[in-house]
């Protein structure tokens, strides 16, 4: 637990000292969300129809943007190597890093979503479900993003390839997440897809860091 706290708080400190980088995914999210209405020039009713999907896709795309910083900086200056050499379990260190990453990149994104949802005429009654679905999807998404970062940490430039690896794997999140919100927009109970998102989160949190740790070890060698 001590090791977890040490890595976790260090990662948070490093992240907050680079304010501008933290803002990149948020700005990107806003831009994507702005581009869709420009491309569709829709009516209010149409906006409401596509809104949920647009917000989810924008969230997934934005989460890719920050991912390169998860391991690359530490790999380049040798911190990651020291972490692997230390007696601390790599899986614990990965847990800490990935949790910190989710906290500084995904959670702010989710905070932006209700505001954007309002501009898409998504009824306020559906907002709690939308945010809850996003929060439940966050652990799985974080693990997938972490895996993408870990698989490409040994590459000089991983940026372009990461999307190919991560995005197909995120499709269940997209399906369950948008379904939950759609159901609650129609006034129906949205528990089933939310439970499925929670189940995926449990699966991802229990197995994902092992895979990420394995990938980091291979990548750093």
Partner 1 sequence: MKLPRWFHQFGSPPYVYRLADRLCPWLGGLGGALLAVGAVWGLAFAPPDYQQGESARIIYIHPQTAYIGMMAYVVMAVASAIGYVWRLKLAHAVAVSAAPIGAWFTFCALFTGAVWGRPTWGTYWQWGDPRIMFEALLLFLFLGYLALREAFDDRDKADRVTAILAVVGVVNIPIVHYSVEWWNSLHQTSTLLAEGGPAMTTDMLIPFLIMVAAFTLTFYWLLLRRLQAEIVEREGDARWIRELVGEGAR
Take residue 143 and report the two structure tokens written for it. 């693990």
Token code pair at residue 214:
């394995």
Question: Cβ(56)–Cβ(138) under 8 Å?
Answer: no
List of residues 6+ apart from 203 with CB closer than 8 A = 140
Q: Does 54 bind partner 1 (CB under 8 A)?
A: no
Question: How many other CB atoms are found less than 10 A from the CB of residue 24?
Answer: 15
Using the rule CB under 8 A, is 3 a contact of partner 1? Answer: no
39 binds partner 1 (CB under 8 A): no
Q: Return all residues near 78 (Cβ < 8 A) that are at least 6 apart.
A: none
- Contact window for partner 1 (CB under 8 A) among 1-9, 41-49, 103-111, 157-165: 157-165
Residue with tokens 């954007």: 116
Q: Does 64 bind partner 1 (CB under 8 A)?
A: no
Give the span between the Cα atoms of 165 and 43, in whole angstroms: 35
Q: Which residue has the tokens 């949790």?
A: 99
Q: Decide: is 147 part of the binding site for partner 1 (CB under 8 A).
A: yes
**Candidate segments 17-25, 49-57, 105-113, 154-162, binder of partner 1 by CB under 8 A:** 154-162
Closest CA to 80 of 140, 69, 2: 69
Piece of 73-81, 101-109, 112-120, 172-180 that binds partner 1 (CB under 8 A): 172-180
Candidates 14-22, 36-44, 107-115, 160-168; binding stretch for partner 1 (CB under 8 A): 160-168
* 151 is an interface residue for partner 1 by CB under 8 A: yes
Minimum CB separation of residue 215 from partner 1 in Å reads 5
- Is 207 among the residues that bind partner 1 (CB under 8 A)? yes
d(CA 196, CA 172): 9
**Residue 215 binds to partner 1 (criterion: CB under 8 A):** yes
The answer to the question of residue 130 lying near partner 1 (CB under 8 A) is: no
Q: Which of 171, 187, 195, 206 binds partner 1 (CB under 8 A)?
A: 171
The whole-angstrom separation of Cα 97 and Cα 192 is 31
Residues engaged in binding partner 1 (CB under 8 A): 147, 151-152, 154-155, 158, 161, 164-165, 167-169, 171-172, 175-176, 179, 196, 200, 207, 211, 214-215, 218-219, 221
């Amino acid at each position: 637990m001590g090791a977890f706290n040490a890595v976790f708080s260090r990662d948070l400190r490093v992240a907050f000292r680079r304010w501008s980088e933290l803002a990149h995914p948020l700005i990107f999210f806003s831009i994507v969300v702005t581009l869709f209405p420009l491309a569709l020039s829709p009516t209010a009713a149409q906006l409401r129809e596509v809104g949920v999907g647009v917000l989810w896709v924008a969230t997934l795309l934005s989460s890719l943007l920050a991912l390169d910083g998860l391991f690359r900086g530490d790999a380049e200056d040798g911190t990651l190597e020291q972490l692997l050499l230390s007696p601390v379990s790599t899986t614990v260190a990965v847990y800490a890093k990935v949790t910190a990453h989710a906290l500084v990149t995904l959670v702010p994104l989710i905070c932006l979503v209700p505001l954007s949802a309002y501009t898409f005429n998504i009824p306020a009654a559906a907002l709690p479900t939308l945010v809850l679905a996003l929060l439940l999807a966050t652990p799985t998404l974080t693990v997938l993003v972490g895996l993408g970062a870990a698989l490409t940490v040994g590459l000089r430039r991983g940026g372009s390839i990461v999307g190919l690896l991560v995005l197909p794997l995120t499709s269940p999140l997209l399906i369950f997440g948008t379904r939950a919100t759609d159901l609650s927009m129609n006034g129906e109970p949205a528990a089933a897809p939310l439970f499925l998102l929670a189940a995926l989160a449990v699966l991802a949190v229990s197995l994902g860091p092992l895979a990420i740790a394995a990938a980091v070890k291979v990548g750093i060698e």
